[in-house]
Amino acid sequence: MKKLAVFFCLVFISFTTWSESLTIPPLLEGENLNLYIKEGILELPFGSSKTMGFNGDYLGPTIRVSNSDYINLNIKNDLREDTTVHWHGLHVPAEFDGGPHQIIEAGETWNPKITIDQNAATLWYHPHLMGKTAEHVYNGLAGMFYIEDDYSQNLDIPKEYGINDFPIILQDRRINRNGEFLYSPSMHDYMQGYIGNTVLTNGSVTPELEVPGGTYRLRLLNGSNSSIFRIRFSEGKKFTVIASDGGFLPESVESDSIIISPGERYEILIDLESSKSLNLITDVYGGDTYKTLSIKGLETRGKYLSHPQSFSYEKVAYNENTNTMRKFRMETRGMGGFSINGKQMDMNRIDFSLPTDSTEIWTIVNVGMGMMQVPHSFHVHDVQFSIISMNGKNPTPLFSGPKDTVLLMPGDEVVIALRFQDYTGIYMYHCHFLEHEDRGMMGQFLIE
C-alpha cells in the first residue's frame, strides 16, 4: 500500500477558534432495542445542516451486545421516505440482514430478531436501500455495533465505554458556506468519490477529548462515502493496532499510520502522557489533511495497560476440495457506471448460489483500465473472511485477521477464504465506495 502515500497532499486545515468536546454516542443495550430513524439538524462551526439520525439528529447510539445474546430490534422509520438498516459485518439470517430487500417504508416499523453468533468485534449499521445508500449514510444514518464475548471481557485492555474505550467515526463532508452538506454528486463525484472539505469525528469538527494520562482504545470506523483515510498522530506517535473489521488480529501491529477505506474498522491502543496533548490526524486520499481529534492529557494519571502482542484467531480453513473458481472483476464502465463481472446490480437477478456448510476461495480484481483507474473496496455480507494473498504475497499482519471489507487499488488482486455456515437467503457483495455501490457495483448470492 506504499503507493498510496504519494497521493496525500500536505495542506493542513484546522479550525482553531472552534472547540467542542467529542460526542460519545449513548449505549443501547438489552434484549429490546428501539431505533427511530428521523430527520435532524446538525450544528457546525459554519452554520447548520439538515441531517438524518437514529434516536437523534446525527449518527446513532452504539449498540452493544454479547455473543449468544438474543436481541429483538424495533426500528421505526420516521423519515418521509423508505430506507433499510443493515448490520455491517454481522453474521445474520438473510431476512434480518437489512439489505436492499428488507425495505422499511416511511412510517413503518421493522422488527428483526437476532441471536448473536460471532466473536467480539466492532461492527456498524447503516441504510442499504437500492440506489439510496450513499445519500442516507451521507445524511448521518450510521452507528456502531459492538459485540463482546468472554474472550474480549477477560483481556486486560481498555474496555470502559466512553472512559478509556472510544468509538471514533470519521466521515468527510462537503460543507458549503451556510454549513449545509446536502448530497448532490456530479458525474465526476460518481467516478472519483464524493470527497469532502471537512472531516467530522462523531459528527463534530476537530472535537476535544480531555482525559487523564493512560492507555486508550480507539475503535476507528471510516464511515465516509468514498474517501480513503490515512490515520496518524501528531509527532509520529506510535500506536498498536489490535483488531480489524471482524475482531482481534492474530498478532498486533505497532505502527505510526494506517490506511482505512470506507466501511473498514480498526481498533488501536495508544498511550497518552499526563499533561501532554496528542492530535489525531486524517489525510484524505486525493484531498487534504485534517486535525480530526485533539486529545488533551489532564495532570492526573489513569490506567496504563500493556499492549497485548497476540490474540486468538482462527483463519478460515480450506483444503483441496474447496471451490476456488469464483472470480470478481470490479470494473468501471463509461458515464459513471460500475460493474462486477460485467454486470450491474439487478434486484431480480441472483448472480450465483452456494449451499450452506461450504467454504469457498474468491479472487477479487480491481481491473484498472485506461483513464478509469479508481480504487474500489470489496465487502461481503453474512461472513468475516480471511485474506489468503494480496497481489500474490502473503498478507501482512494488519491483513491477517477477520475482515469483511478490503481495499483494492487499480490493478490489485486479493484472494480470500470464506466460510458459509448455516444461514440461508440472499446476501449482497459490493464495492463499499457508496457512489459505486449505488451505480451498479453490487451483486447478490443465494445460500440455500
Of 128, 173, 219, 436, the residue at the interface with ligand C2O (CB under 6 A) is 128
In the complex, minimum distance from the CB of residue 177 to ligand C2O, in angstroms, rounded to a whole number: 31
Stretch touching Cu ion by CB under 5 A, among 52-60, 61-69, 163-171, 376-384: 376-384
Binding partner of residue 263 among Cu ion, ligand C2O, none, CB cut-off 5 to 8 Å per kind: ligand C2O
Q: Which of the residues 414 through 433 are near ligand C2O (CB under 6 A)? A: 428, 430, 432
Does residue 226 sit in helix, strand or coil? coil
Q: Is the CB of residue 133 less than 8 Å from the CB of residue 86?
A: no
Per-residue CA distances from 133 to 91, 297, 398 (Å): 20, 38, 28
Minimum CB distance to Cu ion smaller for 132 or for 376: 376
Grid coordinates belonging to 312: 486468538
Grid coordinates belonging to 341: 463481472
Q: Is the CB of residue 71 less than 8 Å from the CB of residue 96?
A: no
Binding partner of residue 230 among Cu ion, ligand C2O, none, CB cut-off 5 to 8 Å per kind: none
In the complex, minimum distance from the CB of residue 22 to ligand C2O, in angstroms, rounded to a whole number: 24
Of 436, 438, 442, 447, the residue at the interface with Cu ion (CB under 5 A) is 436
Residue nearest to ligand C2O (CB): 88
Grid coordinates belonging to 49: 445542516
Task: Confirm or reject binding of residue 86 to ligand C2O (CB under 6 A).
Answer: yes
Q: How far apart are CA 81 and CA 239, in angstroms?
A: 43
Q: Which of the residues 106 through 125 are near ligand C2O (CB under 6 A)? A: none
> For residue 106, what are the contacts with CB-CB under 8 A and spacing of at least 6?
77, 79, 80, 81, 82
Q: How far apart are CA 116 and CA 448, in angstroms?
A: 21
Task: Confirm or reject binding of residue 217 to ligand C2O (CB under 6 A).
Answer: no
Stretch touching Cu ion by CB under 5 A, among 48-56, 152-160, 296-304, 432-440: 432-440
Minimum CB distance to ligand C2O smaller for 87 or for 311: 87
> For residue 390, what are the contacts with CB-CB under 8 A and spacing of at least 6?
399, 412, 413, 414, 415
In the complex, minimum distance from the CB of residue 381 to Cu ion, in angstroms, rounded to a whole number: 5
Q: How far apart are CA 321 and CA 32, in angstroms?
A: 43
β-bridge partners, 332 = 338
Q: How far apart are CA 387 and CA 61, in angstroms?
A: 31
Of 61, 112, 140, 263, the residue at the interface with ligand C2O (CB under 6 A) is 263
One-letter identity of residue 79: L
Q: How far apart are CA 63 and CA 32, in angstroms?
A: 11
Q: Which of the residues 377 through 396 are near ligand C2O (CB under 6 A)? A: 379, 381
In the complex, minimum distance from the CB of residue 263 to ligand C2O, in angstroms, rounded to a whole number: 5
Q: How far apart are CA 154 and CA 252, in angstroms?
A: 17
Binding partner of residue 91 among ligand C2O, Cu ion, none, CB cut-off 5 to 8 Å per kind: none
In the complex, minimum distance from the CB of residue 124 to ligand C2O, in angstroms, rounded to a whole number: 7
Residues that contact Cu ion, how many (by CB under 5 A): 6
Task: Confirm or reject binding of residue 88 to ligand C2O (CB under 6 A).
Answer: yes
Binding partner of residue 430 among Cu ion, ligand C2O, none, CB cut-off 5 to 8 Å per kind: ligand C2O
Of 52, 60, 88, 364, the residue at the interface with Cu ion (CB under 5 A) is 88
Q: Is the CB of residue 393 less than 8 Å from the CB of residue 344?
A: no
In the complex, minimum distance from the CB of residue 117 to ligand C2O, in angstroms, rounded to a whole number: 19
429: nearest Cα among 414, 371, 155, 108: 414
Q: Is the CB of residue 204 less than 8 Å from the CB of residue 171?
A: no
Residues that contact ligand C2O, how many (by CB under 6 A): 10
Minimum CB distance to ligand C2O smaller for 75 or for 281: 75
Q: How far apart are CA 432 and CA 375, in angstroms?
A: 10
Task: Confirm or reject binding of residue 219 to ligand C2O (CB under 6 A).
Answer: no
Which residue, chain included where needed, has cell 484531498? 287
Task: Confirm or reject binding of residue 385 to Cu ion (CB under 5 A).
Answer: no
Task: Summarize as ranges the residues that interact with ligand C2O (CB under 6 A).
Answer: 86, 88, 126, 128, 263, 379, 381, 428, 430, 432
Task: Summarize as ranges the residues that interact with Cu ion (CB under 5 A).
Answer: 88, 376, 381, 431, 433, 436
